[in-house]
Amino acid sequence: RNTIPKDVFVVIGDLKRKMIVDSVGKFSFKLEKIKENIPFHFVAAGYESVSHEINVIYRPQIQSIIANLTYPPYLNKKNETLKNTGSFTIPEGTGVNWLLKTQETEKVKVLFNKEIIKTIKDNNKYSFEKTLKNTSIYEIELSNKHSKNMDNIIYSIQIIKDRFPTVKLESYKDTVLYNYILLGGALIDDHGISNCQLFYRIKAKNNKKENTYIKQNIPFSKNQTSQKLFYQLNICLLYTSPSPRD
C-alpha cells in the first residue's frame, strides 16, 4: 500500500534540506543563483530517489577587450593599445583593431551606428577593425545555441576633429631704410605644425609678366600646438638675387 510521506528531504551534495509542504502530497524547495551543475536526490520515509541533476546553461560573455590604435602618420604619435575599455576618445582618421576574448560564445555581431561590421573568429577570440572619422556608437551582440548576452553591450567613441591650421599674420615695413619686412603673428593647430613656408614673388613695375613664387622655410616648433611667429625678410637680398623665370 502506497502512503504519502509526512516529510521529504532534498539532498544536495553533503547537505540535506527539508522541503516545504505546499499541500497534501506536494513539496517544494527553492534554489537561488545557481552557477554550476547541481546533482541531487530525494529522501522520504527511509527511501531514496534516483539521482537527478540541474544542468546550468551559460550565457555568452566577454572576458576581455583590447583596442589597438594606429594613429594617422602626420600626427607623429606613437600607436597605443587600450585594454578592457570599449569607450575612448581618439583623433580623426585613427585606425582601430579590436580583439575580443569570449566565453561560451559561438557568434559575435558588431554594429557601428546600426551597420554590421565583419568579424574574424579564432577559437574563442574575435577581431574586427575600422578607421574612424566621426563620433560613433557601436554595439556588440554575443550568442550561443542557448541564449544571447543578458545586457546590451554598447560603447561610444569620441572623435577629435582635425581642424585646418590657423595662421595669424601681420607685416611691418622698415619705413626708414626700406631694408626689410618684418612678419609677425601666430601659428595654431590642434595637432601641432608639421611645415611652415613663405611663398613670395618679385614683380617689377614695367614687367607685366609674373615671376614664379619663391619658397622660403620659416623656423617653427613641431611640439607646440600654438606658437608665435616672427620672420624678417631682407628686401636688399631679394633684389641682388636673380629673379626666377617661368
Q: Which residue type occupies 118?
A: K
Q: Is pLDDT above 70 for 235?
A: yes
β 153-160/88-91 pair status:
parallel
Where do we find the cell 551543475? 37
How confident is the model at residue 246, as a pLDDT?
38
Q: What is the pLDDT of residues 96-120, one digit of tens each?
A: 999 999 999 999 999 998 899 999 9
CB contact at 8 A, 158 and 67: no
Mean pLDDT of the chain: 87
pTM, to two decimals: 0.66
| Confidence grade of residue 243 (pLDDT, cut at 50, 70, 90) | very low
| Confidence grade of residue 236 (pLDDT, cut at 50, 70, 90) | confident
Long-range contacts of 50-59 (CB under 8 A, 24+ apart): 57/146, 57/147, 58/103, 58/104, 58/144, 58/146, 59/104, 59/144, 59/146, 59/147, 59/148, 59/149, 59/150
- What the block records as the C-alpha cell of 12 is 544536495
Question: Within 13 Å, how many C-alpha atoms sit on residue 125's CB side?
Answer: 8
CB contact at 8 A, 158 and 135: yes
How confident is the model at residue 245, as a pLDDT?
41
How confident is the model at residue 238, as a pLDDT?
64
Strand partners, 111: 116, 139
How confident is the model at residue 62, as a pLDDT?
94
Full strand arrangement of the beta sheet holding 226-234 = 166-173, 180-188, 226-234
Share of residues in the chain with pLDDT > 70 (%): 92
- What the block records as the C-alpha cell of 246 is 617661368
Q: What is the pLDDT of residues 130-167, one digit of tens each?
A: 999 999 999 999 999 999 888 889 999 999 988 888 88
How confident is the model at residue 165, as a pLDDT?
83
For 5-9, 33-37, 95-99, 234-238, which range has the lowest pLDDT when averaged over its residues? Answer: 234-238
How confident is the model at residue 230, as a pLDDT?
83
